[in-house]
Amino acid sequence: MESFLPTVGLSLAVSLGATALAAALGIPLAAVLAMVPFPGRRAVVVAVNALLGLPPVVVGLVLYLLLSHAGPLGRLGLLFTPGAMVVAQAILATPIVAALAHRALEARWVEFGRTLQSCGASRLQALPHLLALSRRTLTTAVLAGFGRTVSEVGAVLIVGGNIAGYTRVMTTTIVLETSKGNLELALALGCVLIGISVTVSATVLALGEGKR
């Protein structure tokens, strides 16, 4: 067990960091799309939902090109670091958080928006109330984002490099150990990953039922 505890810890740290970043980007975007009318808003909503199927390897490749020494962001020195992995996972999780949060906030705004505005509240002043009313769904959105990040392999393998003791996470370790024939370790990590995924899914389901 001790041999892969650091790998599990790094996986959780990277995934939690990416989920926090996705929530910080996705929820404000969802609020703007739900509450603020502007030209092209419908197109943005469609684009956000379309990005739910964003291929991880494409994200990894584009990010690799941006962060490589010859790329425009190469000076940041993020390539083959946990930071690059956080960014890659956040890019994949943000559309999930934004799409789910948008649906919840839009429904609450339609239901309570006029009432709040009739009481003198601006859109910005009404936002905390909408967030409070939608807290269960928003929590579900964030958990769904975490489920996406913790199971990611393609993008983090490209931008992280799968460096032992530095950027090697559970998913990339499973791929590596399986290719080496070390199925015992691969299966052990797979069980841990499944346990985390099941826990997240059960929590999402419980929150969903709690709204009824």
CATH assignment at residue 168: 1.10.3720.10
Per-residue CA distances from 114 to 21, 89, 105, 143 (Å): 31, 37, 14, 30
> Taking Cα atoms as reference points, which of 75, 72, 33, 56 lies closest to residue 159?
56
Helix extents (H) in 70-122: 82-118
Per-residue pLDDT tens over the stretch 165-184: 899 999 999 999 999 999 98
Segments forming the whole domain that contains residue 19: 2-210
Residue the block writes with tokens 């790094």: 10
> What does pLDDT average to over the chain?
90
Mean pLDDT, residues 90-101 taken together? 96
pTM of the full structure: 0.90
Q: Could you give the number of structural domains in the chain?
A: 1
Mean pLDDT, residues 10-34 taken together? 96
Per-residue pLDDT tens over the stretch 100-152: 999 999 999 988 888 888 888 888 888 898 999 898 889 999 999 999 999 99
Pick from 24-28, 110-114, 117-121, 204-208 the range whose average pLDDT is largest.
24-28
**pLDDT at residue 2, as a whole number:** 46
Kindly report the three-state secondary structure assignment for every residue of 137-200.
HHHHHHHHHHHHHHCCCHHHHHHHCCCCCCCCCHHHHHHHHHHHCCHHHHHHHHHHHHHHHHHH
